[in-house]
Structure formats: structure tokens, C-alpha cells
Amino acid sequence: MSHFVATVTWRPGWHRLLGSQVQLAPVWAGYHVFVDASAADVVHDAVLLIIDPKGRVSTEYNAPLPLTEVNTSLKAADAAQ
């Protein structure tokens, strides 16, 4: 994640989801992300979802992330806002 974030210029209005297991559980369920949460760590699907302002998944990428494609998709989504 840190490498990806370092290569992308985040503009206002874009969000990454960070939070506790309790806070993120409804989001994971809503977007069908499998999560195995133990006391020490959280393991989840290696997926990046680009979600439009209406809450719909516009693009989905699985790991390893194709950074050039992801960057292109983010720029296109940003231009569409």
C-alpha cells in the first residue's frame, strides 16, 4: 500500500479506508471482501476497489496491482467527478 500511495497523487475527495475491525466490517460485507480477523492481524482479499461517488464499484484490481493501469483508472475516475 505504501508503494502505491507514494506513486499516486491523491486529490481532495479520494479516500482510503483505514479503521478498526468494527468500523470496517460493514464495508467489507457490503463489497463482499473476505476477511479473516485474528487478535493480532487482519488478512483480507488482496483487492483494490475503485468506488464511484454513488458507492458502486467502477473498477476492481487483484494483487499484484498493475500500477500503471490503476493510475490510469484513478485519473479517469477523477476526471469524471
- pTM for the model stands at 0.57
* pLDDT mean across residues, the chain: 78
Domain boundaries, the chain: 2-80
Give SS3 for 36: strand
pLDDT surpassing 60 at residue 1: no
Q: For residue 17, what pLDDT is reported?
A: 66
Q: What is the pLDDT of residues 42-76, one digit of tens each?
A: 677 778 888 877 888 888 998 888 889 988 988 88
Q: Which residue did the predictor score with more confidence, 39 or 25?
A: 25
Q: Find the mean pLDDT for residues 30-34.
A: 84
Closest by Cα among 73, 20, 29, 13 to 48: 73
Give SS3 for 17: coil
